[in-house]
Amino acid sequence: MNRELLERRHRIMGRKAPLFYREPLHIVRGEGVWLYDTEGKRYLDCYNNVPCVGHCHPRVVEALTEQATALNVHTRYLHETVVEYGERLTATLADDLTMLFMTCTGTESNELALRMARKVTGKEGIICTNATYHGNSTAVHALSTGFNQGKPCGPGVKAINFPDTYRPMDGLSGSTLTDALIAQLEASIAEFNKGGIGFAGLLVCPIFANEGLPNLPPDYLPRVARTVRDAEGLVIFDEVQAGFGRSGKMWGHEHSGVGPDICTLGKPMGNGHPVAGVVCTDAIGNGFRDGVMYFNTFGGNPVSSAVALAVLNVIEEEALVSNARQIGDSVRNGLLELQAEHTILADIRGSGLFFGVEMVRDDGPASEEADRLTNLMKESGILMSKIGQYDNVLKMRPPLCFNQENSDFLLATLAKNLRRL
């Protein structure tokens, strides 16, 4: 590790600016599923979902380069590419999700979604879960309960228990657990109405990624959506992590069969280029624009649009959604085999190429062991992280071009390092 560079970073960015691993990595190059450090050592990337079609995919690099040498300007002029991208993207979603607002980051997308919900409903209250994260702006940070012991970080927000079937609320299970979670949602809506600010909507990740990818109780999301809409609120799904094939379906919400009123997008949309967006119904989009002069200087610029279109083309032409499903099944089966050998692997969760592995000791969450294991894996040439309410859930989400050979290497290396704990 370059100690001099680390000290310079501390001086310019602050010592508490986040860094992964006990010995930080100095990465200088990426290609496909691999990252390379300054000494040429390569690491299998099982963490970064942003470069979803692979690091430095030549089609994406070519699209960026060609457009950057021709034009880059804001979206208040006509340009073909942003319109084509919007048409292609919305065609992958439900028939009523037809209007696209381009942004630059997932934070911006979620901020815009909150503004939309509050504008079109005329209400203020937003509900999220008690172990989540949706971005960095003031309004969105208010929902970042995962960094505030399960409590909202600002006004106009209430947190409900996430649908945890491993450590369920009050020890409940099955439909009884769903009933209790829905009752909590209804009570939060009622509190907003009683307090006079009303209920605007609910914002959740449809696969509850930051919560640790829990296996959902029966009929959970369909009942949540019905409850929200019966209360005249909007269902907002944060697809920033779940979207673009990550879960083995194009969109995370497809697993539940529930469509959102507003869908927020980000991270993998530009394969590392900062491009994001919000898709909503015409009624919501036009209702928001009525009286609101919204524009975004960089969101949807020609370069970003060309990059996003190239990413979408690669996902479709290289059949990466089906690859995520097929290779993901192989990884999942291997994880289940490891679970049979190692009791510390208490629960295997996730779908497609997005996995959560709950690590537990007899006395509770194995947070220290999860941290040690992620560092051992790094030393062995594999990058992963950890999430969850107790920071004890191994988090794996490799690029969608991950193949069987990569899967075998991941599982063999994980088995070796589990024996070292």
Structure confidence at residue 417 (pLDDT): 98
More reliable by pLDDT, 197 or 148: 197
What's the one-letter identity of residue 328?
Answer: G
> Which tens digits make up the pLDDT trace of 236-262?
999 999 999 999 999 999 999 999 999
More reliable by pLDDT, 144 or 227: 227
> Which tens digits make up the pLDDT trace of 22-61?
999 999 999 999 999 999 999 999 999 999 999 999 999 9
Averaged pLDDT, 73-95: 96
> Which tens digits make up the pLDDT trace of 156-188?
999 999 999 999 999 999 999 999 999 999 999
Structure confidence at residue 316 (pLDDT): 98
Radius of gyration of the chain from its Cα atoms, rounded to whole angstroms: 21
> Which tens digits make up the pLDDT trace of 266-304?
999 999 999 999 999 999 999 999 989 899 999 999 999
Phi/psi for 326 (5° steps) reads -70, -50
Domains and CATH numbers, the chain: 1-39 (no CATH), 58-317 (3.40.640.10), 320-399 (3.90.1150.10)
Structure confidence at residue 291 (pLDDT): 84
- Average per-residue pLDDT for the chain: 96
Q: For residue 85, give both structure tokens.
A: 């991208």
> Which tens digits make up the pLDDT trace of 391-415?
999 999 999 999 999 999 999 999 9
The lowest-confidence range among 73-77, 160-164, 371-375 is 73-77
